[in-house]
Chains A and B, each alone.
Chain A
Amino acid sequence: MEDLQQLLAPLLRGAVVTVQLALMSMVFGALLSFAAGIGKLSGNWVIRWLSIVYIEIFRGTSLLVQMFWLFFALPLIGISLPPYVAGVAALSLNIGAYGAEVVRGAIQAVPVGQYEAATAVNFSKRYALWNVILPQALVEMMPPFGNLVVQNLKDTALVSLITLTDLTFAAQTVRNLTHESIPAFTATLVIYFLLAMILVVGMRWLERYVARKVGVAQARARG
């Protein structure tokens, strides 16, 4: 029993850090997704190109390279980020780039007739985007967002390589203390799996919630 406690206590402390990182990068990643996803479809070429460059760079290189770049390379040009900030920034920027493609795809999947109708009733572009297009696109986005959220949780393990004491880091510490690899890493894998399952269930619930809300809004709009 004491053995188990000695094993689990540090792992759970690490898991708290992992959950914090996952939640924070989820929120920032979602904001970046919408900004860059909508930006890529913007009529303004500066915004469009900025979005494209951001998406391509962060989807085209490894997350670990991005993290090391923010942590090791940036200080050399005078920008020193604490590990926590570098970790959250890399995770958010990376998942945001993937999310941006989801947002763009979902917006483009909304039937053209919806845009035409919005123009026909003289809605401004901004109003049409927020009240006609995005609510419908949001329903489409939810299943791929579910995958990205789990991806993001798994990605948080990399922050242990830039000295953050997350769950993976705790696994290493426990291994070094107990000199036993199997219990430390098995327990760690199980904790990650359980966290992922919680996210999967949560995202399914959110998916249904969004579908219901949007369905209600659409029905109301139809009067």
Chain B
Amino acid sequence: MLFGIRWDTSTDLNFAISIFPILLRGLSITLQATALGFAIALVLGLILAILRMSPYRIISWPVSFFLEFTRNTPLLVQLYFLYFVLPDFGIVFPAFLTGAIALGLQYCGYTAEVYRAGIEAVPRGQWEASRALNMSAFLTFRDVIIPQAIPRVIPALGNYLVSMLKDTAILSAVTVMEMLNVAQIIGQRTFRYFVPLTMVGGMFLVMTIISAGLVRFVEKRLPKEGIPLR
């Protein structure tokens, strides 16, 4: 029994049917972790991408190093780092939040790289024109550069969303009750790993196919000129 739902181990089929609602609970946590983690990666990635373009090396170098470092070290170890080290500083988050932050940190290195490519693809003339109109750097980014850069980068960001969805399984290592962890617990209690783990694999497959389809759909619907931020 898990989440108050009983399982029926009489046959494989009954077992699969009875644990399906339990796995759906896990799926809901998986989706929530992905949503929160991706929101962090989107915002943090954009901020860091812009900071890295700073003319002051004292800003751009540490940011560059941070992005390279998070991108080139394993998510699992970053997750352990946050999970075990933050409490040493008196910061105690629930495992779910720590997991979402770790996902966000790992992926901000990727999203920052995507934003950089998008921003660099905006023609130089746009910068020069903003300059000629005496716009501040902040206004130039907000009203001219970012609105034009975003439509170009949405497909690439979408691919990272799909990839993050799959990586949420790693949060099971720090007790987050996402889909894989739920399947593991069912396996431990019934000694039947085959059915739950295969179902989780199938559910991941269905979700990645759906989300990859969504990314393609959004890609087609994107406005070509740019998205106004206000």
Contacts and interface: CB of A to CB of B under 8 A. Distances in A.
Interface stretch (B14-22, B91-99, B137-145, B162-170): B162-170
A185 B77 contact: yes
B130 interface: no
Contact of A61 (B78, B81, B85, B205): B205
Interface in A45-99: 56-57, 59-66, 68-69, 72-73, 76-77
B166 A69 contact: no
Interface of A, secondary structure class, is: helix
B197 interface: yes
A150 interface: yes
Nearest to A18: B74
Contacts, number: 108
Contacts of A31: none
Interface string B171-187: 01100000010001001
A217 to B, nearest CB: 32
Chain B contact residues: helix, strand, loop or mixed: helix
A60 B80 contact: no
A172 B172 CA distance: 16
A193 interface: yes
Contacts of B209: 60
A62 B194 contact: no
Interface size class of A (residues with CB under 8 A): 35 or more
Contact of B73 (A56, A59, A73, A154): A154
A160 B76 contact: yes
Interface of A: 56-57, 59-66, 68-69, 72-73, 76-77, 150, 153-158, 160-161, 168, 171-172, 175, 181-182, 185-186, 188-189, 192-193, 196-197, 200
30 contacts: A57-B205, A60-B205, A60-B208, A61-B205, A62-B166, A62-B168, A63-B169, A64-B169, A65-B197, A68-B180, A72-B193, A76-B193, A76-B194, A153-B74, A155-B74, A156-B74, A157-B74, A157-B75, A158-B76, A171-B77, A171-B80, A182-B85, A185-B80, A189-B73, A189-B77, A189-B78, A189-B81, A192-B74, A193-B68, A196-B73
